[in-house]
Amino acid sequence: VICNIWGRGMVKIIPILLGVIGSYLVAAVAGVIDFTPVAEAAWFGLPIQYDRTVFSLFTDGSLDTSLLITSIITIVPIAFATMMEHIGDISAISSTVGENFIQDPGLHRTLTGDGLATTLASLFGAPANTTYGENTGVLTLTKVYDPMVIRLAACIAMILSFCPKFAALIEVMPSATVGGISLVLYGMISAVGVRNVVETKVDFSQSRNVIIAALILVLAIGINYSTAGAIVIPLGAITINFSGIATGSLVGILLNALLPGKDYEFHEDKPNDTGVDFEIAQGESLVWQLAKQAGQENMVDGGTTTEK
């Protein structure tokens, strides 16, 4: 926080990294960190376990169809849940950056990229790909929006994935360090969400909007504090877990589509627009009518009427 507000130059751009390094060093000096796993880890290693990949099914020349179907049933709901998070994150980042990524490059392209990444990940036994809302907080703090930064970070992450010693260094990071960074990042994400609600003029005088918002908040936050920490759906030999964010997003989308009384209408996106283009439907919201009247007061001057 200090680096972001009072810092200059590079210090202002990388406040999160400086915060991690600083707190890590303090914890190391205080003797809080056990570096034994780091010392025991190898410098080089493959991040893939062959027995967890789809290719291991063909090793003995026979294909276990039941296992293949079970794997597909497991990954599809997770991919669907992460798709909900993807849409929300793209909208939040569009608002933060000031560019309409839903239009350019387009939500269909970003979802396709997410889907292809999930397909490749599932072949190698990795979980479904997901967008991270924390990145919205990073963009808000650093004000660095160049996509080249993400590309470089991705290349560096892929290189470091072949270094178990670095993975061990991350694993022994103090919980206080992770908590301090999360405190700022998740707070920024929440602030961006509130900003989107204000900018899109959501009318909370309508019971419909209040119910949708209430259920999203309770499910997204409350489920994480349940005994299981997620909604658990057992399907035979497998178990599907829906996180609070995924459940809240899915319920919000379904309720918005099913409940009557929408007070907005979608239109085509305008050039240089930074969000989904829609306007509040007239005649459905008393609050909106009053706001519109207040913003369009007529001034009569010498018989000429001009609009404010």
Cβ proximity of 24 and 174 under 8 Å: yes
Percent over 90 (pLDDT), the chain: 0
CA pair distance 44, 26, nearest whole angstrom: 28
pLDDT of residue 264: 57
pTM summary value: 0.53
Angle at 188 between CA 27 and CA 17, to 5 degrees: 35
Residue 18 phi/psi, 5-degree rounding, is -65, -35
Cβ proximity of 212 and 262 under 8 Å: no
Average pLDDT, the chain: 74
pLDDT of residue 280: 43
Question: Could you read off the pLDDT of 205-252 as tens digits, one per residue?
Answer: 888 888 888 998 888 888 888 877 777 777 666 666 777 777 887 888
48-52, 68-72, 143-147, 238-242, range with greatest mean pLDDT:
143-147
Question: Could you read off the pLDDT of 153-186 as tens digits, one per residue?
Answer: 889 988 888 888 888 888 888 888 888 888 877 7
pLDDT of residue 185: 76
pLDDT of residue 268: 57
β partners of residue 300: 305
Structural element, H or E, at residue 98: none
